[in-house]
């Protein structure tokens, strides 16, 4: 099960960014939420210059799987 029902609709990096921030809202407030919000922002900065569509889809798939793991933890 995906953390949020919109996971299958994520197709672009901007949609992924919004999706992951919405997932963060479901985490406990405080340091945990701040940590994951910071990690999301940093990851997007690191991958900002990615231009290979296949690689972008791999990153999106992996990010959704990771969000699923965090939300189920």
Inside any domain, residue 2: no
Q: By 3-state DSSP, what share of the chain in percent is helix, strand and coil, each rounded to 5?
A: 75, 0, 25
Domain housing 12? 7-72
Domains of the chain: total:
1
Would 18 be classed as within a structural domain? yes
Torsion sign (Cα): 12, 8, 61, 71: positive
Alpha-carbon gap, residue 32 to 36, rounded angstroms? 6
Q: What is the pTM of this model?
A: 0.81
Dist CA 68 CA 1 (whole Å)? 7
Has residue 66 been placed in a domain?
Answer: yes
Give the integer Cα–Cα distance in Å for 50 and 44: 10
pLDDT, tens digit, 9 for 90 and up, residues 7-64 = 778 888 889 999 999 999 999 999 999 999 999 999 999 998 999 999 999 999 999 9
Q: Report yes or no on 1 lying in a domain.
A: no
Q: Is residue 44 part of a domain?
A: yes
């Amino acid at each position: 099960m995906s953390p949020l029902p919109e996971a299958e609709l994520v197709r672009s990096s901007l949609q992924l960014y919004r999706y992951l921030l919405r997932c963060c809202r479901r985490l406990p407030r405080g340091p945990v939420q701040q940590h994951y919000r910071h990690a999301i922002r940093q990851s997007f900065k690191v991958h900002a210059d990615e231009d290979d569509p296949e690689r972008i889809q791999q990153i999106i798939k992996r990010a959704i799987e990771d969000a699923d793991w965090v939300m189920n933890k």
